[in-house]
Structure 1
């Protein structure tokens, strides 16, 4: 048996990212791309992440994240505010425009989940996601 987990995960990530960008375009979400959508996803759950926290959550390198945040700020999706206690630290917040895109984004990501999990049972999905969590845990543990 050929073991290809890493390759398969990478290939699924590539294809799902490409499809998600197409869905965003189809649903009229031109203000951001799939990678920026990762950032918005976390901000929709909780405003006021620092750049470091967002980098850890999204897996984006800090310099890549900074460039993306600059573009998102130009698109009026986010704004940054300096921390009162530590002037070196800035927190990222959603603008009204950024917050307003959540519903439209959810429609696109719900469609993505339909495509992603086509012909999966709920039990299959649960098993698959638990296995992915285990892989992530193994990789995080090894990274420490």
Structure 2
């Protein structure tokens, strides 16, 4: 059995606790929570998504996502667009204000990301991602069995 500090949950938690403050300062300066950021970031990349898609991409449970979307809509950062093909489907889209926020924030996010990326080689980053993906996929397969 690994020592407590060497366990996977502690290694991941410790890493997240050290990486996230740089990002959180930026989120807080722009009146966003971590969860709101995740939703906006997904929308900026995809342009429009359903709530179910956002939940899957951001790993936010649907009940929590409802409130997050409501708050983002109240801030006029997102809008809801009913599908013309199937009125049961509602697409979430970034508003003009939401896209302006992207233009403002992404250069700073890129700088934070680049700072972390300078600490590892491209090969280390690829290996890190490969290992985490392998652990994630193998865990998901075991949970499905």
TM-score, structure 2 as length reference: 0.82
Q: Aligned to 1:6, which of 5, 9, 14?
A: 9
Aligned partner of 2:120 in structure 1 is 120
Q: Deviations over 1:95-123 (max 9, x none)?
A: 01111122332223223324434531222
Q: How many residue pairs are counted as aligned between the two chains?
A: 141
Give the alignment's TM-score, normalised by structure 1: 0.82
Once the 2 structures are TM-superposed, how far is the Cα of residue 61 of structure 1 from its aligned partner?
0.6
Match of 2:97 in 1: 97
CA contact (8 A) 1:44 1:102 kept: yes
CA deviations on 1:12-53 (whole Å, 9 max, x unpaired) are: 33443343111334xxx5242322111111111112211011
Choose 78-87 or 6-15, whichever is displaced more. Answer: 6-15
How far apart, CA to CA, are the structure 1 residues paired with 2:19 and 2:119? 16
Structure-1 separation of matches of 2:126 and 2:134: 12
The residue number in structure 2 matching 1:58 is: 58
Distance 2:111 2:33 in 1: 16
Gaps of 5+ in 2: none
| Counterpart-to-counterpart distance in 2, 1:81 and 1:97 | 16
Higher gyration radius (CA): 2
Matches within 5 A, 1:1-144: 1-2=2-3, 3-25=6-28, 29-117=29-117, 119-144=119-144
Verify the 8 A CA contact 1:39 1:58 in the aligned structure 2.
yes
- CA deviation vs aligned residue, 1:40-98 (integer Å, no higher than 9, x gap): 11111112211011101110010111101001001111001222343333110110111
Distance in 1, Cα, partners of 2:14 & 2:119: 19
Structure with the higher helix share, 1 or 2: 2
Deviates more, 1:127-136 or 1:80-89: 80-89
